[in-house]
Chains A and B, each alone.
Chain A
């Protein structure tokens, strides 16, 4: 639910058209009425050839990953590139990567909702779906990294006659709870937000079977005031409920590292650092998804440059947070006066792993600094490139956390190296295939932009058309696809 649409006074037209607007005030001037919203957004739901192609590619990658996993199950984990004592590798890196991505969705839909940040309106559905699928992807990795993945349910506290419970002191058990909770809540959140939109789809659907399914999913939504009142309360409650989860889940994930005594892991900064990094990576992924999407679906007048601009500021902010966390690690390595910590840190930054650290620092600290420039923030191409860099950088952030620590621990006799094998890469690619497959399926079944919320910021159609083509706000605005600031 976005900021409430309110007419902009005539004297503020200039303000409105100034691009660098306050995020709460993001408007959709090119969207004129509900009918247009319904038409344009539901129009994106019809499959196209390109979509089929994309789905095929995603499924291909997924099958590759599945094949690699089956091979790994059959042969043993040895086919992955593990190099003890580097006992965790690509799978844990990728797990944390996807959990991190799963953060932006709830952040955008919940926290920004509570903060009344209007720019979230058009991107939140996309981000939420991304969250659910990213968490679904992430949740696979703790299982497929197991030596005996068929025993994964032993991490779940289920009643059994032997009275064997999981070790509740283990962060990995906390992980199970955190991930499952987060998956449940974010799925609920996504679904609840979808209900009015599903009702729209139900009403417009002609295929009787699909109509029946939509009818079922829309829970009999009739657009009554009472429903809206309950819906708004529910949504607010879920937003409030999810908000601490955003912080907790990745804190718990960071405990996987922070609760150990491995140099480079054993640090109290990890929870906030991981949360910031997660949000950063999530926003990066939102850009990676929404920028092609708004182009292909011709939704530039919904996801306007103003939205991207505002989101880019959030990316910049989180980048700075993450960057200062990196700097803190430098400080702590020095200030700790612990030789093990210093040796390890030196090796991470200047030694064996300098290249990974260099990628990390460039992608996550240096490249995002360009977002201080408004011109760059509104350069869609750059935002897309940057988002890819952020994704790479955040994957390498986890690489730099996981691998250099383990490869250079307390006992010098056991200092090693690490290189992933083709199985690691295939499963990594498979995770992208899995994620993309779900996302592609999603965007053709459900509106990728929240119809109901967009309608909230679009002025309702007048009963009768104004004879001079003046809209309800009294503004003479030609109907045009361009949005302010984009035409330069």
Chain B
């Protein structure tokens, strides 16, 4: 709203993107204060002094700059294209910066990998950038403490150490562990190491599925082929969670959604695995095999086994396996994906080969190169073994955390104790860095230059989007500075910084880069790093059947937190797991029948014990579990990775020191002893009831019924009464009832008239902002939720200190969530349909639920102070300043999408403050940080609407249809959400609202919502009958915690 400043730079495109004209200062000459900084400092200080005299209020800086850099207009965003480094895939992002601060990350629409979408983890990179637990500058160990030192001292200490190592002839014993990334830096690093006589670095990624990578390398000589879901007629996934985090999953979200909504030739998905992951929940069929028996089923498909033999091993009904085999025979082309185990992945590749899928659905010729150069985790383990043997002279780590990711049984901490000098380049504290002797914190990836190579032939540029937050330096610059101290290397590193080193080496040179920066992409390749495989023999686990225990233990990487990289980001901690809906907590997932057999209920503690260790966890029953299995997510319970990361329990305590044949830690390798333990921990979940109870919230229809005018019976029965409006009408979305309520009696079916006269003086009544949510596209990944948090300054409330006032006797993470006080304006409701008998055949409905902006809103008339009212353009407005907090609006909201500020989450002085410095730098200046005691809810990103209107007005034009969209729709990787003006036929939304699958949630309540849902499409007749249960059972009976 503050963006309607005259003289806004003209923007022909939707997003005006510009290259950063100059490198941020302080890279060359730290400590020096240039003229601009001096003026800024002086101005701010003077303003502060002047203001103090006349106000009792706390003086705050409205904008970070008083004298802004050239070309920067206060209150107008600048957009930079860069590359996401949160996982190896290297999606392209557009960083929105305002007054020199990055405030939002969105997918780069031109990027071939993510095509404008961005997952929750990628968006949360901002909370890595602004993480309060980042190292604020270089540190050195004195005694048992890390103490801050200056960069000069730190560089000197590092250079001395390097020189000393070389003098002692021990350079060959140095180890550099680097977070795996694609692009130029790995080669640069190897080059630097080689110059010093050190071995190439180990490129390590704890969260990538190395089993698949190793298999692909063996089968196809590429790390990761591209998959074409649209061409496939049948997709079989053996634990390859391509919608959760397996590979470049953002790519797959869109591919999959596109493939599935091409109804004429949509592929069917069968998921094989002991636990139904998010991908499993999106599958049409789930084959709940025993852990470790996926291979047998895959071999059955290959023809090595008969279905009967595979049935014995896997515990799955032979007839089902036979059906699966027949389906695979019938489908051509098909696509078989294997993950988690190299053997399974190899077998999947073999099936693809045998079925002729390679070249059709498995595109090895245009591979994803983001995983090239990655070392096997076994290489890292070998390095650790060397450390333990005392043969490592110098250890350097950068953004990897093997102390955590290799588990307690990896004994990395002990091994590191034998290394004389350890240097960490990590930008944020973690278990490994805390053991190091010298910390030379790296810039965050949003603060530094670089290049990534996501695909063959495509380079994705990485550029700083803002000045650095802390006193950090790019590792490459540090390495170059150290190199310059060595006479032999000095000539190699003549360039003042990595940027100058890098740019000439890219295709097109520096000029080409300048041209390419606005969209962040260059065609071409960088020289890949050479093969550095140590090729150790993996420590294979003994057969799982032979291990001792009651239940198979399935560890899996949390889809949002990775192995723990996301654990210190409150957005990700507060984002409910898409499957279990657990947040801030680690749980033991058990099938309801198994839990019953153990005599435990949701929240009761169980002790899970393996030979490596034991953990006590609360039980969370989940019907998508194999009955003989306990599953635990890895990624929480990090004790030294920052203030948020210690939520939950570290499941890697249970990890045995075994490896898959690829060298990846064996997450499924043993049975575990599981027994009820004393104690109870209420489940921290956002789930009320996991069943819809016939309310028709997430509806579905059969694929066969598409295009046939059938009547659906999956919602509440509505008895039409005289005088009722026409419930079947879709937007238009005007609310004749609301007009009636204004005394403006109109015909009940007249959709032209709303509460406001179309000729309302404001000129706004001609629009009706509306949204469609296509449940056939939505995969439940929850990226929209994080986008909303980022866009709308939504506080996270689950940290331990934020809930301390609630349960003074027992404090823990998620106390506010236990009271259902999460603030997510958009939430992913996840309902199970069918499977009441505990069987594997249940259907899942993911329903993004946000304010429905009802045309006849129940919340509006009950607010005594007009804090919520109806805008002429159809928005349901919430005026925070007017709200007194009666909360009646929430009571009257059937969708329950209003959220109350129970505490002062936005007040820095309070314990409940949700944005500890510098997390508050991320706050969107267009959106109020809400005060204690007021109600808030989804605004349809009103700030974006008004910005677009203002921009159009400033440019003397109408808004172009689909010129802008809201944050959730923008982020959605599967394009399930569409936003637009339903009163204007030119907007894309108008096609969707009149889709045959369209319905309103609770339309029987005459709310005339602006959000239209499109039915999910079932590809096979559900095995359950969708009977209405008149009498609901307790919410706990279906696998979720009632809270």
A interface, CB within 8 angstroms of B: 75-79, 81-85, 87-88, 142, 145-149, 151-152, 154-155, 164-167, 169-173, 176, 256, 259-262, 337, 339-340, 342-343, 346-347, 351-352, 406, 409-417, 421
- Interface stretch, picked from B64-72, B525-533, B1028-1036, is B1028-1036
- With a cutoff of 8 Å between Cβ atoms, the chain B residues found around residue A82 in the complex are 819, 821, 900, 902
Q: Which of B716, B865, B893, B1005 contacts A155 (CB 8 A)?
A: B865
Residue of B719, B886, B1034 ringed by the most chain A CB atoms within 10 A? B886
Interface contact A148-B861, CB-CB below 8 Å: no
Q: Which of B691, B849, B900, B912 contacts A87 (CB 8 A)?
A: B900
Interface contact B820-A85, CB-CB below 8 Å: yes
- With a cutoff of 8 Å between Cβ atoms, the chain B residues found around residue A414 in the complex are 688, 820, 896
Asked if B383 lies at the interface with its beta carbon under 8 angstroms from chain A, I say: no
Quote the shortest CB–CB distance from B784 to chain A (angstroms): 16
Smallest CB-CB separation from A172: which chain B residue?
Answer: B864
- With a cutoff of 8 Å between Cβ atoms, the chain B residues found around residue A170 in the complex are 861-864, 888
- With a cutoff of 8 Å between Cβ atoms, the chain B residues found around residue A340 in the complex are 695, 716
Beyond A346-B1031, A413-B827, 7 additional contacts (C-beta under 8 Å) are A76-B902, A76-B904, A79-B806, A260-B892, A409-B896, A412-B831, A413-B689
Asked if B934 lies at the interface with its beta carbon under 8 angstroms from chain A, I say: yes
- With a cutoff of 8 Å between Cβ atoms, the chain A residues found around residue B932 in the complex are 76, 147-148
**Cα distance A96–B520 in the bound complex, in angstroms:** 63
Interface contact A411-B1043, CB-CB below 8 Å: no
Smallest CB-CB separation from A79: which chain B residue?
Answer: B805
Asked if B982 lies at the interface with its beta carbon under 8 angstroms from chain A, I say: no
**Cα distance A79–B912 in the bound complex, in angstroms:** 12
Interface contact A411-B697, CB-CB below 8 Å: yes
- With a cutoff of 8 Å between Cβ atoms, the chain A residues found around residue B1005 in the complex are 261, 410
Interface contact A410-B904, CB-CB below 8 Å: no
Quote the shortest CB–CB distance from A421 to chain B (angstroms): 7
- Give me 17 A-to-B residue pairs in the complex whose CB atoms sit less than 8 angstroms apart, sorted by A's number: A76-B933, A81-B819, A85-B820, A147-B934, A151-B865, A151-B884, A155-B884, A165-B866, A167-B866, A170-B864, A172-B864, A172-B888, A261-B894, A342-B1031, A412-B693, A412-B697, A413-B686
Asked if B882 lies at the interface with its beta carbon under 8 angstroms from chain A, I say: yes
Quote the shortest CB–CB distance from B819 to chain A (angstroms): 5
From 679 to 701 in chain B, residues with beta carbon under 8 angstroms from any chain A beta carbon are 686-689, 691-695, 697
Q: How large is the interface on B (under 10, 10 to 19, 20 to 34, 35 or more residues)?
A: 35 or more
**Cα distance A339–B1030 in the bound complex, in angstroms:** 7
Interface contact A166-B864, CB-CB below 8 Å: yes
Interface contact B903-A416, CB-CB below 8 Å: no
- With a cutoff of 8 Å between Cβ atoms, the chain B residues found around residue A172 in the complex are 862, 864, 886, 888
- With a cutoff of 8 Å between Cβ atoms, the chain B residues found around residue A84 in the complex are 819-821, 890, 896, 899-900
**Cα distance A415–B689 in the bound complex, in angstroms:** 6
**Cα distance A365–B205 in the bound complex, in angstroms:** 68
Asked if B858 lies at the interface with its beta carbon under 8 angstroms from chain A, I say: yes
Smallest CB-CB separation from B816: which chain A residue?
Answer: A78
B interface, CB within 8 angstroms of A: 686-689, 691-695, 697, 716-717, 719, 805-806, 816, 819-821, 827, 829, 831, 847, 849, 858, 861-866, 882-888, 890-896, 899-904, 912, 931-935, 1002, 1005, 1028, 1030-1032, 1034-1035, 1042-1043
Interface contact A406-B891, CB-CB below 8 Å: yes
Q: Which of A75, A146, A409, A411 contacts B903 (CB 8 A)?
A: A75
**Cα distance A75–B821 in the bound complex, in angstroms:** 15
Contact residues of B: prevailing secondary structure: loop
- With a cutoff of 8 Å between Cβ atoms, the chain A residues found around residue B884 in the complex are 146-149, 151-152, 154-155
**Cα distance A179–B387 in the bound complex, in angstroms:** 78
Interface contact B1030-A421, CB-CB below 8 Å: no
- With a cutoff of 8 Å between Cβ atoms, the chain B residues found around residue A79 in the complex are 805-806
- With a cutoff of 8 Å between Cβ atoms, the chain B residues found around residue A77 in the complex are 885, 900, 902, 933
- With a cutoff of 8 Å between Cβ atoms, the chain B residues found around residue A142 in the complex are 886
- With a cutoff of 8 Å between Cβ atoms, the chain A residues found around residue B692 in the complex are 412
Interface contact B1034-A351, CB-CB below 8 Å: yes
- With a cutoff of 8 Å between Cβ atoms, the chain B residues found around residue A88 in the complex are 887-888, 891
Smallest CB-CB separation from A351: which chain B residue?
Answer: B1034
**Cα distance A352–B687 in the bound complex, in angstroms:** 16
- With a cutoff of 8 Å between Cβ atoms, the chain B residues found around residue A342 in the complex are 1030-1031
**Cα distance A481–B932 in the bound complex, in angstroms:** 61
Interface contact A87-B890, CB-CB below 8 Å: yes
Known: A83-B820, A84-B899, A417-B1042. A412 touches B890 (CB 8 A): no
**Cα distance A407–B891 in the bound complex, in angstroms:** 10
Interface contact A337-B865, CB-CB below 8 Å: no
- With a cutoff of 8 Å between Cβ atoms, the chain B residues found around residue A259 in the complex are 862
Residue of A79, A164, A337, A415 ringed by the most chain B CB atoms within 10 A? A415
Interface contact A171-B862, CB-CB below 8 Å: yes
Known: A260-B858, A343-B693, A416-B688. A411 touches B895 (CB 8 A): yes
**Cα distance A78–B806 in the bound complex, in angstroms:** 7
**Cα distance A173–B861 in the bound complex, in angstroms:** 11
Residue of A79, A167, A414 ringed by the most chain B CB atoms within 10 A? A414
- With a cutoff of 8 Å between Cβ atoms, the chain A residues found around residue B1034 in the complex are 351-352
Q: Which of A151, A346, A347, A416 contacts B1043 (CB 8 A)?
A: A416
**Cα distance A164–B883 in the bound complex, in angstroms:** 13
Q: Which of A81, A148, A339, A421 contacts B885 (CB 8 A)?
A: A148
Smallest CB-CB separation from A412: which chain B residue?
Answer: B689
Quote the shortest CB–CB distance from A413 to chain B (angstroms): 4
Known: A84-B900, A147-B933, A414-B688. A337 touches B719 (CB 8 A): yes
- With a cutoff of 8 Å between Cβ atoms, the chain B residues found around residue A346 in the complex are 1031-1032
- With a cutoff of 8 Å between Cβ atoms, the chain A residues found around residue B695 in the complex are 339-340, 410-412
Q: Which of A151, A409, A415 contacts B1035 (CB 8 A)?
A: A415
**Cα distance A410–B882 in the bound complex, in angstroms:** 28
**Cα distance A171–B891 in the bound complex, in angstroms:** 13
Interface contact B688-A147, CB-CB below 8 Å: no
Interface contact B694-A339, CB-CB below 8 Å: yes
Interface contact B688-A169, CB-CB below 8 Å: no
**Cα distance A243–B893 in the bound complex, in angstroms:** 35
Quote the shortest CB–CB distance from A159 to chain B (angstroms): 15
Smallest CB-CB separation from A343: which chain B residue?
Answer: B1032
Q: Which of A148, A411, A417 contacts B849 (CB 8 A)?
A: A411
- With a cutoff of 8 Å between Cβ atoms, the chain B residues found around residue A415 in the complex are 688-689, 1035, 1042
**Cα distance A273–B1005 in the bound complex, in angstroms:** 25
